[in-house]
Amino acid sequence: MGKDKHASREELAEYPPETPSHGHSSGKYGTPKKYDPSFHGPIKNRSCTDVICCILFIVAVGGMIGVGVLGWMYGDPMRLIHPTDSFGQVCGIDENVKNASYLFYFDLLECFSSITTTVLNFGCPTPKICMSECPQNTFAPYTLLLQDAQKFIDELELDLNMWDEFICLPGFDPEAEFNDASGPYYQNLAKIFEHRKCATYYLPSTNYADRCVPAFLVAENASLADIFTTGLTNLQTLGGTLIDNDNVTSVFSSAVDKFLNLASVLEVVYEDFVNSWHIILIGLGIGMVLSMIWCFIMRWIAGVMVWGSILCLHAVLAAGIYCCVQQYLDLQGVAGSMDSITFEFTTNLSSYTRLQQTWLIIGIILCVVFLILFLLTICLCSRIRIAVELISESSKAVSSMWSTLFWPIVPFLLQTGVIALWVGIAVYLATSQQAMYQVFDATTSNFTGDSCDIDTFQEESSSDTFTADYNLTSNDTDLSCLFIDYSLPEYFKWLQLYNLFVFFWLINFVIGLSHMTLAGAFASYYWAFNKKDDVPFFALSGAFYRSLRYHLGTIAFGSLIIAIIQIIRVLLEYAEYQLKGKENKVAKFILRCMKCCFYCLEKFMKFINKNAYILVAVYGKNFCSSAKEAFFLLLRNIVRVAVVNKITDFLLFLGQLLIVSLVVVGAFFYFTLEVTWVNAVLPVPAVNYYWVVIIVIGIGVYLISKAFFGVFDMAVDTLFLSFLEDIERHDGSAEKPYYMSKGMMKIVGKKNKKMEEEW
């Protein structure tokens, strides 16, 4: 306290009104920066930071590559492209099914019974086999068995050729299994179908996209009369669906048409893209040029747009108040206008608009909003001017370093590589299906649910712990290890989760690298006393080098925090999905609260990370120190921070909205032949769905403008933090001159005592 008591007047003058005095410099708002005569921008003499996190990051990426190698060893993406049976064999390609090019589904309806199950398993959950040709007749053994089991079995014994009509899994002989007294299916034909060894039914089918689809859905000469034969009036599925002549069309059409229509639409859309790819590139190019122009002219239009928007908002509120007063006066003396408002749900709004009380309430609300907005504008006038000047100065900074506008290409390419790596590993892991076996109890003719290893099962069956392992009595030893299906082992799901986590980490790492590089370049601009001569020529490349050479660990640290939050959010989404259809209201409420909290936490940490990277780029300190200093610096200027952020977000939103709207509207007029002179120079390509092309152009332009404006936003944030530190460090004297622009000094009431004329 003694030191603070004797603080010089010059030291006290270093801090703006929003900053606590030196008497509280060590308080909860942190310690403001002090003057450093050797500081003239991003320091050159720095050391590596957060090395441990850098090592962890390298190990994590190495682990991701190791997971990818494991997936490459066991996976096969061809299973997702070409028809693949339940054994993981690609129809028409793999050796065992080289002459069987068509995929047959035991029950096609199961593919659409649960879209979620189908997507998660990368295919239809029903058994699938490869066939040399699709079935040409109707056969429903399971239905005939349910109708009259003894009669059907007698027919099988009399007509042995009927066994050949069964469609079963490769290597499974239903006749031999049914007559094998030592097998699990002896004299139990129903179990063959219930264990999905053979198809319960099939219909006359035709080839569509190398898959056997019921012919009456896709073939013009197929008829419903071909489906049901004599003595067969309906079909019974394992899922309990009863299909008869009245509902067969609706049951199959509602399911299969989704696939057929989607396939046809995708083919048409693909053709549209092939025919109009040059138009898409032109639209994206126009969006890029408009984004660059917008960043360049922001120095002149920022003030007009901000103050014009505020004025328009005041005018709209004033007009609303006037309308409410006018309506209130017009309703005086009108019958029923003095009734009280009864709040109830109704689509007849006139029941409210005819009441004076309605307009009185709306008018009061608008008056309160107008008064609050007016007072805020008056109170925050100087801070709004600071925000406008910062935006103008940021435009000058971007214009002086044109290379920063092309910088988004680098993180875009890096992120594209990360996404490609993640997708590739995810696909290989998802197709790393392995044969799964379960223990079958011949005594009960049921699977016990216990998994087993076909290679070691016989050895285990002779061990003393065998009966205890499978909860058996001493007499229950008639067990066998039977193949169930090809599916993913449980640990592959954890590998997918790890792959997703490292993906989040890598994506956020690239974003952090971009932020730190741009921050270093724009900080070089701000801390150059003479902006024309002192700004380094290779400011961007120098900042990029410093980030790679010294601060990969710091970027890894910040991105790790975001990645952990994001993976927790994914797990919360999964937990909420698992609770769907359940009545646990308390658990759902807690999950939603946690989702909200982690969403807010992610936004907050991204904000802190961004500002921490700025200070790391300038001073070369570690992540924790920089994050702490950035947080307290912003906290000491919280009102300025709020105003600058909101105004910047508003202007960038307007810019993106304007650019996307211009390009999309222009594309619409082009495809609808409204701009004849353009159509004469650039003919409209033949497309079926031009609105799909326009949507793609709109999304692409939005992403491009977002990338360009991201550079501009980083410039604003860097210059703003530098401005706050400039006020804390300097007092305008010859020894400690301000680095801010002349317009900024005028707004905050500061000036440099010497060389003022040279500014």
Residue 609 has pLDDT above 80, yes or no: yes
Instruction: Tally Cβ neighbours within 10 Å of residue 611.
Output: 24
How far is the C-alpha of 729 from the C-alpha of 33, rounded, in Å? 6
pTM, whole model, 2 decimals?
Answer: 0.70
Mean pLDDT of the chain: 78
Residue 13 has pLDDT above 50, yes or no: no
Query: pLDDT band at residue 2, thresholds of 50, 70 and 90?
Result: very low
Pairing of strands 211-214, 205-208: antiparallel
User: Alpha helix locations (H) across 337-465?
Assistant: 350-353, 356-379, 381-400, 409-430, 457-461
Q: What pLDDT sits at residue 12?
A: 35
pLDDT tens string 185-231: 888 888 888 888 899 888 888 887 788 888 776 665 555 555 665 45
DSSP 84: B
Work out whether the CA dihedral 492, 495, 501, 504 comes out positive or negative.
negative
Four-CA torsion 203, 209, 210, 215, nearest 10 degrees: 20
Q: What pLDDT sits at residue 746?
A: 77
Judged by average pLDDT, the poorest of 15-19, 247-251, 736-740 is: 15-19
pLDDT tens string 363-409: 899 999 999 988 988 888 888 888 888 888 888 888 888 888 888 88
Residue 105: phi and psi, rounded to 5, are: -95, 130
How far is the C-alpha of 609 from the C-alpha of 598, rounded, in Å? 16
User: Which residue, among 753, 750, 723, 714, has the nearest Cα to 527 in the 3D structure?
Assistant: 723
Judged by average pLDDT, the poorest of 1-10, 87-96, 147-156, 299-308 is: 1-10
pLDDT tens string 153-186: 888 888 878 898 899 988 889 998 888 888 888 8
What's the whole-number mean pLDDT along residues 565-588?
83
What's the whole-number mean pLDDT along residues 537-558?
91
